[in-house]
Amino acid sequence: MAELALRIDDADLTVTAAGVDIARYAFEPGGAASEGPKPFLHPLRALDGAPLTAFRPWDHRWHKGLQMTWTHVSGENFWGGPTFQRDTGYRQLDNVGSIRHDRFTDVQDAGPAVSFTEELTWVTRAGEAWIAETRTHLFHGVDPERGLWMLDFSTTLCGIADRDLELGSPTTQGRPNAGYTGFVMRMPRAWTGGRVLSAELPDDAGADAIMGAETPWVAVSGEHDEVDGGGTVLVFAGTSTGAPPIRWFVRTEPFPIVAPSPSFDEHIVLAPGAELALQHRHVFADRVWSPAQTRALAEELAP
211 within 8 A of 225, measured Cβ to Cβ: no
Predicted confidence at residue 183, as pLDDT, reads 98
Q: Give 113-167 pLDDT, tens digit per residue.
A: 999 999 999 999 999 999 999 999 999 999 999 999 999 999 999 999 999 999 9
- First and final CA of the chain: distance in angstroms? 17
Predicted confidence at residue 112, as pLDDT, reads 97
Predicted confidence at residue 2, as pLDDT, reads 85
Report yes or no on whether pTM surpasses 0.95: yes
The C-alpha atoms of residue 146 and residue 293 are separated, in whole angstroms, by 11
Q: Which residues make Cβ contacts (< 8 Å) with residue 287, sequence separation at least 6?
A: 147, 229, 230, 231, 232
Q: Which residues of the chain have pLDDT under 50?
A: none
The C-alpha atoms of residue 79 and residue 153 are separated, in whole angstroms, by 18
4-301: in CATH 3.10.450: no
Predicted confidence at residue 72, as pLDDT, reads 98
Q: Which residues make Cβ contacts (< 8 Å) with residue 228, sequence separation at least 6?
A: none
Residue positions counted in the chain = 303
- Chain centroid to Cα 105, Å, comes to 22
Q: CA-CA distances (angstroms) from residue 189 to 53, 56, 57, 58, 137? A: 9, 11, 8, 10, 25
The C-alpha atoms of residue 270 and residue 167 are separated, in whole angstroms, by 7
Q: Give 67-87 pLDDT, tens digit per residue.
A: 999 999 999 999 999 999 998
The C-alpha atoms of residue 111 and residue 57 are separated, in whole angstroms, by 34
Predicted confidence at residue 40, as pLDDT, reads 98
Predicted confidence at residue 1, as pLDDT, reads 72
* Cis preceding-peptide flag for 37 (omega within 30 of 0): no
Beta bridge partners of 240: 278
